[in-house]
Amino acid sequence: MRVLRAGVVGAGTMGGEIAQVIASAGVPVVLKDIEQSVVDAGLEKAGQVTGAQLEGLVEKEKLTQKEADAQAEEVVGRITGATDYAGFGEVDFVIEAVPERRPVKQSVMAELDAVCPGHAILASNTSSLSITEMAEATGRPGKVVGFHFFYPASTMRLIEVIEGEDTSEDTLQAASNFAGRLRKTAIRCGDAPGFVVNRILNSAISEIWKVTDGEGLDVQEVDRVIQESRAAPVGPFYLTDLLGLDTVLHVAEHLHDSYGDRFYVSSAMQKLVADGNLGKKTGKGFYEHGSPQREQAVPANEDLPDSLAERMSLKTLVEACLVLEDGESSAKDIEIGMMMGAGILPGPFTRADGQGLDTLLESLERARSEWGESFEPPLILRRLVAQGRLGKESGQGFFAYPIPDEGQTRETIALETCGSARLGRVRTDGDPRGDVGIVWLDRAPANPLSPQVIAELGDLWAEVDGNLRAVIFASSTIFTFSAGADIKKFTRMSPAEVRELIDAAHALMRAMERSSTVTIAAVNSLAFGGGCELAMACDIRLAAQSASFGQPEINLGIIPGFGGTQRLPRLVGAAKALEMNLLGDPIGAYEALELGLANKVVPDHELFDTALSWAHGLAGRAPLAVQQIKRVSAAGDLDEGVEAEKQGFAAVFESEDAKEGVGAFLGKRQAEFKGT
């Protein structure tokens, strides 16, 4: 679904900026509140934010002042203020940002259901309330979704897309696509209290609240220690002051009620709220705002610095694992959420993989005996350690990591060959490099298919073609499989250079398709443009649940250049391919499966093992037969195809492998094919 017009209800702290984000993405938006003065304030806020953003571009000399003024006028001109629902009969996507109270949200949802067109998606910016319950107030529960921005909405890049019990896959995909259009990153979450980011952050911070309350520590000193340790970008008390103590207290109580004692409600915060001290907005909270800072106190405990930061980091990991175990989100989305929504860099799983999961398991066991049950090592961590998946060093932990062969690390890609011990486990020294290869796309975060990548892939392919039996294309970053061509490089290339690049990419992809080596794309994340085209040139496409595919070239006014107009219709049919190439909207993994673009969809954490398992299975197939099947399968029209098949059959039927295969079948033994 294409959003041509949007609505925002509630023009408070969040609503004004949300409208601004939508308008600056070129979408007209109506912003409604109950009071005209609040609408005016929301519009003013949108204007200020737009002005500040454009001023930045003028300073960087990317725009002239005149251009900036004209753009500002255009952006603000796309926002219409309202105190009634008059403009809502034309919207495709509405976001409610009214106060965090269930009855208020439910009555707004019911009103929206009555005034918005039947196809419109009704989204909620709630931080903690149930999407399922809000959907119950409407006659379109399949079209109700959580769409949780972070404060401040204009600068924070994350949106949590929350799936209520009845939210349809179409709605989820449309919401993710709309987030992409707003230049935000969407992560998917289940409808559980606190969703992903607030739940994990609150769990971690509540450890700090608990120890500070219990030991009477100085909050500024605690903040300093946490910030210096880089366990979090801002001290937890200062952050609470910024967000508003009443809001944070409300969330903390809700999470304590929902999950129990591993969420602690700060008594110091309760007292401050009872006295009307709500943080920065009232001038006083844990800090005095606008007055000189107090002198820093001496830490009460000499061990304080290390143990505090460790406590917060370990609790972050525990809660992140529990979100994963509960099936509320994928490891990738949790990781991205904590990086973009909480500023924890790297995120908890990459951090843990880097430190070694066995080490962390020991630390957690120690922490549990010292600090209590909230540090109980999560099951998933125990399992990973039991499987020998100890993190980055071992090649697998929460995520999979390259262990390239010696001399096989190029600037943008790396080759790892492996035997079956890599499957389901980790690389071991005794594991011989076998006949399966993994080509790691290794240019985080976007894995662009630049001229250099195409050249390196071409060289590498010449080495492995026919020598390895199966090759997996995998990404070493969670952010993308490959986001497509390197647009910046494109703009600096001459037409002749572009032609050369396109020729090289086609030569590579046709060579892959004609080879006796089977190719598998393990699509872990976004496969857009050239990334999607590379995946389509592979023989098999395995997709993680959170993967998405798309040919967005049309948005740049160009067309797919690496075969997207040819392979896509062959895979998904002419009509759908035309739609995807003309609209440029991405599709999710399950739709890709339904259409025939993906061969299989698996949970994110199973993708790498599934790809290895398929590769090892396919590596045992007779190479000559593999090559002929690949070569003739999609050959031209039917008559040409049948002719090609006849020739291919004859070529293979005479081979040694054919004799071996038939002999092994009759002899009831395992065939060993040599490619002759």
Among 34, 86, 345, 582, binds ligand NAD (CB under 6 A): 34
φ, ψ at 482 (rounded to 5°): -160, 130
Nearer to ligand NAD, 38 or 592 (CB): 38
Please report whether residue 38 would count as binding ligand NAD according to CB under 6 A.
yes
Of the residues 148, 254, 605, 616, only one is catalytic, namely 148
Please report whether residue 98 would count as binding ligand NAD according to CB under 6 A.
yes
Given CA atoms 496, 535, 436, 619 in this order, what sign does their dihedral have?
negative
Look at residue 415 and give its three-state secondary structure: strand
**Distance (Å, rounded) from C-alpha 471 to C-alpha 611?**
10
**Taking CB under 6 A as the rule, which mask of x and - marks residues 112-151 in contact with ligand NAD?**
-------------xxx--------------------xxxx
Whether residue 29 contacts residue 22, with contact meaning beta carbons closer than 8 Å, is answered with: yes
**Nearest distance in Å: CB 244, ligand NAD:** 7
Look at residue 541 and give its three-state secondary structure: strand
Q: Which residues pair with 520 in a beta bridge?
A: 472, 540
Pairing of strands 470-475, 436-441: parallel
Nearest position to ligand NAD, beta carbon: 12
Instruction: Choose the stretch contacting ligand NAD; rule: CB under 6 A; options: 34-42, 279-287, 417-425, 468-476.
Output: 34-42
**Pick from 206, 210, 236, 207: which is nearest to 221 by CA?**
236
Pairing of strands 29-32, 185-190: unpaired
Residues 575-590 as b/e (b if ≥16 CB within 10 A, e otherwise) read: ebbeebbeebbbbbbb
One-letter amino acid at 32 equals K
Please report whether residue 13 would count as binding ligand NAD according to CB under 6 A.
yes
Please report whether residue 462 would count as binding ligand NAD according to CB under 6 A.
no
**Nearest distance in Å: CB 103, ligand NAD:** 11
- Give how far Cα 344 sits from Cα of 170, 245, 261, 284, 566, Å: 31, 21, 24, 26, 42
**Taking CB under 6 A as the rule, which mask of x and - marks residues 150-179 in contact with ligand NAD?**
xx----------------------------
Nearer to ligand NAD, 15 or 530 (CB): 15
Look at residue 436 and give its three-state secondary structure: strand
**Distance (Å, rounded) from C-alpha 460 to C-alpha 414?**
9
CA-based radius of gyration for the chain: 28
Among 7, 10, 235, 377, binds ligand NAD (CB under 6 A): 10
Nearer to ligand NAD, 200 or 542 (CB): 200
Nearer to ligand NAD, 13 or 387 (CB): 13
> Would you call 605 a catalytic residue per the annotation?
no
Nearer to ligand NAD, 12 or 675 (CB): 12
Tokens of 378: 């999560």
Instruction: Choose the stretch contacting ligand NAD; rule: CB under 6 A; options: 98-106, 590-598, 633-641, 652-660.
Output: 98-106
Show contacts with ligand NAD in window 483-502 (CB under 6 A): none
Cα 492 to the center of its chain, rounded Å: 30
Q: Residues near 291 by Cβ (< 8 Å), separated by ≥ 6?
A: none
Instruction: Choose the stretch contacting ligand NAD; rule: CB under 6 A; options: 26-34, 284-292, 393-401, 484-492.
Output: 26-34
**Nearest distance in Å: CB 110, ligand NAD:** 11
Nearer to ligand NAD, 125 or 477 (CB): 125
Nearer to ligand NAD, 83 or 467 (CB): 83
**Distance (Å, rounded) from C-alpha 31 to C-alpha 43?**
8
**Nearest distance in Å: CB 152, ligand NAD:** 8
Other beta carbons within 10 Å of 78: 21
Please report whether residue 99 would count as binding ligand NAD according to CB under 6 A.
yes
**Distance (Å, rounded) from C-alpha 272 to C-alpha 284?**
9
**Pick from 283, 215, 288, 276: which is nearest to 249 by CA?**
276
Return the H-helix or E-strand segment holding 22.
Answer: helix 15-24
Nearer to ligand NAD, 341 or 564 (CB): 341
Instruction: Choose the stretch contacting ligand NAD; rule: CB under 6 A; options: 28-36, 63-71, 494-502, 506-514.
Output: 28-36
Whether residue 374 contacts residue 262, with contact meaning beta carbons closer than 8 Å, is answered with: yes
Nearer to ligand NAD, 205 or 505 (CB): 205
**Taking CB under 6 A as the rule, which mask of x and - marks residues 238-277 in contact with ligand NAD?**
-----x----------------------------------
One-letter amino acid at 582 equals L
Instruction: Choose the stretch contacting ligand NAD; rule: CB under 6 A; options: 97-105, 160-168, 361-369, 563-571.
Output: 97-105
**Nearest distance in Å: CB 35, ligand NAD:** 6
Whether residue 245 contacts residue 278, with contact meaning beta carbons closer than 8 Å, is answered with: yes
**Nearest distance in Å: CB 185, ligand NAD:** 16
Tokens of 363: 């630390």
Please report whether residue 33 would count as binding ligand NAD according to CB under 6 A.
yes
**Distance (Å, rounded) from C-alpha 544 to C-alpha 598?**
10
Given CA atoms 273, 275, 278, 284 in this order, what sign does their dihedral have?
negative
**Distance (Å, rounded) from C-alpha 475 to C-alpha 80?**
43
**Nearest distance in Å: CB 224, ligand NAD:** 24
Among 108, 121, 367, 572, binds ligand NAD (CB under 6 A): 108
**Nearest distance in Å: CB 83, ligand NAD:** 8
- Give how far Cα 553 sits from Cα of 265, 450, 489, Å: 50, 15, 15
Other beta carbons within 10 Å of 279: 26
Among 6, 8, 9, 182, binds ligand NAD (CB under 6 A): 9
Among 55, 69, 100, 643, binds ligand NAD (CB under 6 A): 100
Please report whether residue 32 would count as binding ligand NAD according to CB under 6 A.
yes
Among 1, 12, 136, 282, binds ligand NAD (CB under 6 A): 12
**Taking CB under 6 A as the rule, which mask of x and - marks residues 49-88 in contact with ligand NAD?**
----------------------------------------
Please report whether residue 191 would count as binding ligand NAD according to CB under 6 A.
no
Size of the site for ligand NAD (CB under 6 A): 26
φ, ψ at 544 (rounded to 5°): -75, 155
**Distance (Å, rounded) from C-alpha 218 to C-alpha 228?**
16
Among 104, 504, 554, 658, binds ligand NAD (CB under 6 A): 104
Which segments of 287-330 does DSSP mark as H helices, in order? 304-325
Q: How far apart are the first and last CA of the chain?
A: 52
**Taking CB under 6 A as the rule, which mask of x and - marks residues 200-239 in contact with ligand NAD?**
----------------------------------------
Q: Residues near 408 by Cβ (< 8 Å), separated by ≥ 6?
A: 414, 415, 416
Instruction: Choose the stretch contacting ligand NAD; rule: CB under 6 A; options: 94-102, 167-175, 394-402, 615-623.
Output: 94-102
**Nearest distance in Å: CB 125, ligand NAD:** 4
Q: Which residues are catalytic?
A: 148
Q: Which residues bind ligand NAD (CB under 6 A)?
A: 9-15, 32-35, 38, 97-100, 104, 108, 125-127, 148-151, 243
